[in-house]
Amino acid sequence: MKHLRTRVAIIGSGPSGLALGQLLHRQGIDNVVLDRVSAEYILKRIRAGILETGFAELMREAGVSARMDRDGLVHDGFAIAFNGHSTRIDLKGLTGGRTVLCYGQVEITHDLIDARVQSGQPTFYEASDVRLHDLTSDQPSITFQHDGENCTLHCDYIAGCDGFHGVSRQSIPAELRTEFERVYPFGWLGVLSDTPPVDEELIYCRSERGFALASMRSHTRSRYYIDVPLTAKVDEWSDDAFWAELKRRLPYDAAERLVTGPSIEKSIAPLRSFVCEPMQHGRLFLVGDAAHIVPPTGAKGLNLAASDVSTLYRILTRVYRDNDLSCVPLYSEIALRRVWHGERFSWWLTRLLHHFDEQGRHDKSGNSGRRFTESELQYLLGSEAGRRLIAEQYVGLPYESLPESRAAMAAANAA
């Protein structure tokens, strides 16, 4: 058995784990990252594309923003197309100047992996049989196998950054967890292509035929989505079939500009809303997708992971820099306040932009649910207050600060 020791053990080297590891490292807080797959495998996963201001600022604080600031596309707004009419959501104008950054999650992960290598902090890829132990003691540990060797990692705290299918959430006793879940009756079929985007900004579409999203990764690489039934299989969708269906769903002018080409990635993502409460147990903290999942309609998944990371990083910095443990018990409640706002917005926007069974895609049975939703969307888009409601959430609500530290209060009293 190989014994290792660190301050913070991080399970998962997706954006949550890598960002937390880098931020802690810059505070001189040593940490170890474990992942069950290789870095190459992680970099093949095509996921998010839109960063809130909060995420971008966190990457700058982590010292890994050079490429993001050079290559990321600042977006001042986006469009929602409904009933053949496009309405622009003027993010900058409606939120006092705030914008979003279009920069792929793969690029962020690249930047974070490069920083991890440069930091020299230990990272164990292809770690198997990861198990968490003694979470309610002050000496938790993780056992795992790596390169055929049995290892035990002794630590002070464990950050479960291991995604929806990870081991961390399951390590909280079921009787102590409350899980909120809503599975949607459709998935998103996504295509990545080296073709120019149809517009400078994103276009979300609610068409008679269903949902479509025209996004991008750069001026020469596009990311498109259409919603498909849960029974759909990706190999049933040829590129031609995808382009033809996307063209039917985009507003006419955008459809006319559509440049098609071979897909370089094509996959179907299921959609769910999910939250685990609480997000901490003893010395274990759940971060990102390990604790919550949103339908990607509001571009919140990665961005909620970022606010969890920011909260945990600041709490642990207080522990090790100021020997102030007062905020440790507050992580879950602080993280969950912002998580639930992101969950509600993502559910709300998904409901507005997709056809649900109770509405029926082509039913003529006078189903009022469909008319209520169409009327709500029409009203929101036609009202500055409605567009501001969408804009404020899309750019991201502010991150909650920690309560004033004991050190700061003592300094203020002494002054």
Active site residues: 75, 204, 296, 300, 394
Residue 373: CB atoms within 10 A of its CB come to: 19
For ligand FAS, the binding residues in 304-333 under the rule CB under 6 A are 305
Distance CA 19, CA 21 (A): 5
Smallest gap, in angstroms, from Cβ of residue 78 to ligand PHB? 8
Q: Are the CB atoms for 249 and 211 separated by under 8 Å?
A: yes
Distance CA 11, CA 13 (A): 7
Torsion from C-alpha of 160, 166, 172, 174, nearest 10 degrees: 160
Smallest gap, in angstroms, from Cβ of residue 47 to ligand PHB? 7
Distance CA 111, CA 106 (A): 9
Nearer to ligand FAS, 351 or 406 (CB): 351
Please provide the distance, in angstroms rounded to a whole number, between the alpha carbons at the two ends of the chain: 53
Q: Per rule CB under 6 A, is residue 213 in the interface with ligand FAS?
A: no
Smallest gap, in angstroms, from Cβ of residue 323 to ligand FAS? 29
Q: Per rule CB under 6 A, is residue 12 in the interface with ligand FAS?
A: yes
Burial of 61 (0-12, 13-18, 19+ CB in 10 A): middle
**Can you tell me which of 20, 42, 212, 339 binds ligand FAS, judged by CB under 6 A?**
42
For ligand FAS, the binding residues in 146-185 under the rule CB under 6 A are 161-163, 165-167
Sheet architecture: strand order including 31-34: 123-124, 31-34, 8-11, 157-160, 284-286, 280-281
Q: Per rule CB under 6 A, is residue 299 in the interface with ligand FAS?
A: yes
Numbers of helices and strands, H then E, in the chain? 13, 21
Q: Per rule CB under 6 A, is residue 105 in the interface with ligand FAS?
A: yes
**Can you tell me which of 302, 315, 334, 352 binds ligand FAS, judged by CB under 6 A?**
302
Distance CA 287, CA 306 (A): 9
Question: Which of ligand FAS, ligand PHB, none is residue 12 near (CB under 5 to 8 Å by kind)?
Answer: ligand FAS
State the helix-helix crossing angle for 301-322 and 53-61, rounded to 10 degrees: 40
Smallest gap, in angstroms, from Cβ of residue 223 to ligand FAS? 8
Q: Per rule CB under 6 A, is residue 16 in the interface with ligand FAS?
A: yes
Nearer to ligand PHB, 160 or 251 (CB): 251
- Residues of this chain that interact with ligand PHB (CB under 6 A) are 48-50, 202, 215, 223, 296-297, 299
Question: Which of ligand FAS, ligand PHB, none is residue 223 near (CB under 5 to 8 Å by kind)?
Answer: ligand PHB
Question: Which of ligand PHB, ligand FAS, none is residue 297 near (CB under 5 to 8 Å by kind)?
Answer: ligand PHB
Nearer to ligand FAS, 271 or 319 (CB): 271
> Two tokens at 159?
């950050």
Smallest gap, in angstroms, from Cβ of residue 34 to ligand PHB? 27
Q: Distances from the Cα of 350 to the Cαs of 5, 225, 228, 358, in angstroms? A: 44, 13, 14, 14
Q: Per rule CB under 6 A, is residue 269 in the interface with ligand FAS?
A: yes
Smallest gap, in angstroms, from Cβ of residue 58 to ligand PHB? 19
> Phi and psi of 330, rounded to 5°?
-95, -10
Question: Which of ligand PHB, ligand FAS, none is residue 276 near (CB under 5 to 8 Å by kind)?
Answer: none
Task: Report the interface residues with ligand FAS, using CB under 6 A.
Answer: 11-17, 34-37, 42, 47-49, 105, 127, 130, 161-163, 165-167, 269, 288-289, 296, 299-303, 305
